[in-house]
Amino acid sequence: MVIAGPCSAETEAQMLDAAFQLKDSNTSIFRAGIWKPRTRPGNFEGVGAIGLKWLQTVKCETGLQTATEVANANHVELALEHDVDVLWIGARTSVNPFMVQELANALAGTDKPILVKNPVNPDLALWLGAVERLHKANIHKLGVIHRGFSTYDKSNYRNKPEWQIPIELQNQFPDLPLFVDPSHIGGRRDLILELCQKALDLNYDGMMIETHPTPEKAWSDAEQQVTPERLKEITGSLIVRDQTAEGEVFNNTLEKYRTQIDSFDDQLLQVIGQRMSIVEEIGFLKKSQNVAVLQNSRWHDILKKMVDQGEKENLSAEFVTKIFQAIHQESINHQERIMNQQ
């Protein structure tokens, strides 16, 4: 499913221009931001309720369903009054359980689909908590949108994807529709195609792509919006892959590889367990001599060595760093327990 439209509703003419160009694409739902929660005051914060009338006109004249973001109970009331078809809760709202609960109370019992964007920080429990609050309000047409996570680290993306988080969400709730928002993950229009393909390869159900008739003139997020024509090119070039394949040869070969992976996974845990046994012996030694658990110089030497070794094994520095940061933290935990034993 493709949800597309401008980041912000600007004028009725802009909305209709975009909608009529998207009408002949495979877009199912026309999106537009009516209220725009900006990081700092003074920036364009949306046209407000008048934009809802423009969405009504879009639906009437093009037949497209409509969607917009809601951030408080008043937004919900107005959006429902104007018969917006799909509502989504943004990342700045889903991070706040108080606001999510307010929205859940306002939406209680609605049969309209409600989509929840991931919170700005990488916290799966917080994301699922927002969905649970809505579900407890007797809202059953629920889905989630992966828009990436804020970070201070330098990245090629506006918001780091952290793909493992939505993958874990899929593992826990495989029937919960999952959409990708490549516009906010990438922050640049040239990244949208690869992000959409990555999402489809991970069995996402659809995408929300910001689309504007003249992106360079957009009142907000100009760099990440595409033209309707470019959207058609992107969606037309995406490959939707089967989750399974027929054929005895394929399935037998796949099972062989999976068996090998299972064996390596077992070996990995055994080796890590053996490593932790040595870590604990070092912990007893440090305790006997009253030596601090954390030895920064040793840690940095290990990390540099492993990153260099990882390159030889075709493993990225980011991947190796994450693995050894986790191992290092677990080692510290083991030694601290020994230090605190009476």
The band of 209, judged by pLDDT with boundaries at 50, 70 and 90, is: very high
Whether the per-residue pLDDT at 75 is higher than 80: the answer is yes
Whether residue 168 is found in the same domain as residue 253: no
The first and second tokens of residue 219, run together, are 């009142």
Whether residue 191 is found in the same domain as residue 252: no
Whether the per-residue pLDDT at 43 is higher than 80: the answer is no
State how many domains the chain has: 2
- pLDDT for the residue numbered 187: 96
Whether residue 220 is found in the same domain as residue 273: no
Whether residue 233 is found in the same domain as residue 252: no
Whether residue 79 is found in the same domain as residue 207: yes
The first and second tokens of residue 164, run together, are 């493992």
Whether the per-residue pLDDT at 278 is higher than 80: the answer is yes
Whether residue 102 is found in the same domain as residue 229: yes
Whether residue 185 is found in the same domain as residue 137: yes
Query: Domain for residue 169, yes or no?
Result: yes
CA 231 vs CA 25, 91, 193: distances in Å: 8, 24, 9
Query: Domain for residue 243, yes or no?
Result: no
Which alpha helices (DSSP H) does 238-316 contain, by range? 248-289, 296-312
Query: Domain for residue 144, yes or no?
Result: yes
| Average pLDDT along the chain | 94
- pLDDT for the residue numbered 34: 96
One-letter amino acid at 62 equals T
One-letter amino acid at 110 equals T
Query: Domain for residue 92, yes or no?
Result: yes
Closest CA to 60 of 40, 85, 78, 38: 85
* Burial zone of 200 (CB within 10 Å; 0-12 exposed, 13-18 middle, 19+ buried): middle
Whether residue 196 is found in the same domain as residue 266: no
CA 163 vs CA 150, 151, 271, 283, 326: distances in Å: 13, 14, 26, 35, 17
Whether residue 269 is found in the same domain as residue 222: no
Whether residue 73 is found in the same domain as residue 110: yes
pLDDT: is 113 or 249 the higher one? 113
CA 153 vs CA 157, 183, 186, 218: distances in Å: 10, 19, 15, 27
- pLDDT for the residue numbered 241: 81
Query: Domain for residue 173, yes or no?
Result: yes
For residues 308-329, average pLDDT: 95
Whether the per-residue pLDDT at 153 is higher than 80: the answer is no
CATH of the domain at 133: 3.20.20.70
- Residue that is last in its domain, among 237, 271, 302: 237
Helix (H, G, I), strand (E, B) or coil at 5: strand
Whether residue 19 is found in the same domain as residue 131: yes
Torsion of CA 269, 272, 276, 279, to 10 degrees: 180
Query: Domain for residue 242, yes or no?
Result: no
Residue 252: CB atoms within 10 Å: 9
- Residue that is last in its domain, among 214, 237, 260: 237
- Residue that is last in its domain, among 186, 206, 237: 237
CATH of the domain at 277: 1.20.59.10
Domain range enclosing 57:
2-237
CA 16 vs CA 10, 19, 53, 207: distances in Å: 11, 5, 12, 21
Tell me if 114 sits within 8 A of 107, measured CB to CB: yes
Whether the per-residue pLDDT at 149 is higher than 80: the answer is yes
Whether residue 51 is found in the same domain as residue 16: yes
Query: Domain for residue 139, yes or no?
Result: yes
